[in-house]
Homo-oligomer: A and B are copies of this chain.
Amino acid sequence: MSQPFNEQSVVDYIRQTPLSTSIFANEETLQSAPIAEGNVNLLFRVFSANDPGKSVLVKQALPYAWRYPDFKMPVDRQRIEHGILEVEGRYCPDQVPQVYLYDPEKHVLVIEDLNRHLVMREGLMKQKRYPLVAEHLGLFMARTLFYTSDLYLSSADKKAMVAQFINPVLAKVQEDLVFTEPYLDHPNNRWTPLLDPQVAQIHADDELRSEIFMLKEAYMAHAQALIHNDLHTGSIMLNEEETKVIDPEFGFFGPIGHDVGSYLSNLVLGYAAQEYHAQDPNERANYRRWLLDLIRDTWNIFETEFLNLWENKGNGDWPSPLFRRKYIRQLLQDTAGFGAAEMMRRLIGMAHVHDFWTIPDDSIRATAESLALNVAQAWLMRRHTLTSIDELVDMVAAANASYP
């Protein structure tokens, strides 16, 4: 096993790669700084002391999660991440970081530094508006998902890619944390205690649990396209001009609606958390309206581009106009279901999100979380008859908190 990098050894490592002359110059002094974001990989920024604008990001996969050394994770995830960045980069180069180097021996990936970009989740907490993000994410999802589906790939190529991206350990993490534990009395779960009555209701609801398990079955068995599988607002780095989707190490062939639903539902979480983050009632209402428009616009751009690609780049194996409509409707319903599962697990499962845990007041946090839980339940239970994104947006706009 490779030694974990330290600030010196990561510089020595970069120095002996071609990057020392392609990105940097021989005469430059290189320095590094650890980056404590993320839970999974060891991360360093390596930059030129002579010209700090020149920098790269070095990701090292260790056989465990960097932040939680007891949590074993296969180093093979670096191969997966590299493979997916390559596929995504082929079809959507503007929305992924450039890959400078992949070292399969040392499980190291060197990518474009995104130091002019902010994590989207943090941006939403500050009511930032990004005029291009609807288009960027709509196109990113449409392209990466269409081009890895049976609508585009040949039957044989698709099957070979399915085998290439089987990712059992990281998939299992999500199977447990997203689709199982939050619906059982499990020691990993935690939630704001004021939500006890609402959580008790969820845990007692076998109708709800059975719907989650329908989604879990699809998540485990429906190899529809190469999904990012962790596509939330914490996996997006952006500014007003550029949007970059990062960290695809969880990727595998799964249901398209899981990616779309994860992303849109994290916008809903951002919406709910404005209860605290946007203190001024007018600003809160305005920003929430912007988020609702963002959800609607993102889906519409996604749908339009997906259908456009199908029409113009499809493999011709699905000649039926009605099938297209049914396929898209099913994606919308899946999006609602997987989005609901993502929201619930962020509120009553193990892995919570910054939007809420930064709310110091228990009562305000419970109000925001309860609203999001109610959206999730509506999306989940009413998805089978959905026909339009507007219905999903309306459920968000109409939702109230059960607390206080």
**Interface assignment of A217: CB less than 8 Å from any CB of chain B:** yes
Interface segment out of the listed A3-11, A162-170, A287-295, A364-372: A162-170
**Interface assignment of A224: CB less than 8 Å from any CB of chain B:** yes
Instruction: Report the minimal beta-carbon distance from A403 to chain B, rounded to whole angstroms.
Output: 26
Q: Are B150 and A217 in contact (CB under 8 A)?
A: yes
Q: Mark A154-194, 1 if CB is under 8 A from B, else 0.
A: 01101110110010110110010000100010000000000
Interface segment out of the listed A15-23, A94-102, A115-123, A208-216: A208-216
Which residue from B168, B221, B318, B321 sits with its C-beta under 8 Å from A222?
B221
Across the interface, which residues of B come within 8 angstroms of A162, CB to CB?
A: 162-163, 166
Docked pose: A217 CA to B166 CA in angstroms: 19
Given A175-B155, A221-B222: A322 in contact with B210 (beta carbons within 8 A): yes
Instruction: Report the minimal beta-carbon distance from A316 to chain B, rounded to whole angstroms.
Output: 10
Task: Give the oligomeric copy count.
Answer: 2
**Interface assignment of A70: CB less than 8 Å from any CB of chain B:** no
Docked pose: A150 CA to B146 CA in angstroms: 26
**Interface assignment of A327: CB less than 8 Å from any CB of chain B:** yes
Residues of A within 8 A of B (CB): 150, 155-156, 158-160, 162-163, 166, 168-169, 171-172, 175, 180, 184, 206-207, 209-210, 213-214, 216-217, 220-224, 253, 317-323, 325-327
Closest B residue to A179 by CB, please name it.
B317
Docked pose: A172 CA to B158 CA in angstroms: 11
7 closest residue pairs by CB, A with B? A210-B322, A210-B323, A213-B323, A156-B168, A159-B168, A163-B163, A209-B320
Which residue from B172, B214, B223, B325 sits with its C-beta under 8 Å from A155?
B172
Closest B residue to A253 by CB, please name it.
B221
Across the interface, which residues of B come within 8 angstroms of A184, CB to CB?
A: 319
Which residue from B210, B322, B327 sits with its C-beta under 8 Å from A326?
B210
Closest B residue to A220 by CB, please name it.
B150
Docked pose: A160 CA to B168 CA in angstroms: 8
Q: Are A206 and B322 in contact (CB under 8 A)?
A: yes
Q: Are A323 and B209 in contact (CB under 8 A)?
A: yes
Docked pose: A159 CA to B318 CA in angstroms: 28
Q: Are A159 and B171 in contact (CB under 8 A)?
A: yes
Docked pose: A221 CA to B155 CA in angstroms: 10
Across the interface, which residues of B come within 8 angstroms of A220, CB to CB?
A: 150, 155, 158
Across the interface, which residues of B come within 8 angstroms of A206, CB to CB?
A: 320-323
| 7 CB-based A-B contacts, threshold 8 Å | A155-B175, A156-B169, A158-B220, A159-B168, A206-B321, A221-B253, A222-B223
Closest B residue to A325 by CB, please name it.
B210
Q: Are A323 and B159 in contact (CB under 8 A)?
A: no
Q: Are A163 and B166 in contact (CB under 8 A)?
A: yes
Which residue from B207, B224, B318 sits with its C-beta under 8 Å from A213?
B318
Q: Are B180 and A155 in contact (CB under 8 A)?
A: no
Across the interface, which residues of B come within 8 angstroms of A159, CB to CB?
A: 166, 168, 171
Docked pose: A319 CA to B185 CA in angstroms: 12
Instruction: Report the minimal beta-carbon distance from A139 to chain B, rounded to whole angstroms.
Output: 23
Instruction: Report the minimal beta-carbon distance from A133 to chain B, rounded to whole angstroms.
Output: 30
Q: Are B150 and A221 in contact (CB under 8 A)?
A: yes
Docked pose: A319 CA to B180 CA in angstroms: 9
Q: Are B168 and A214 in contact (CB under 8 A)?
A: no
Q: Are B166 and A213 in contact (CB under 8 A)?
A: no
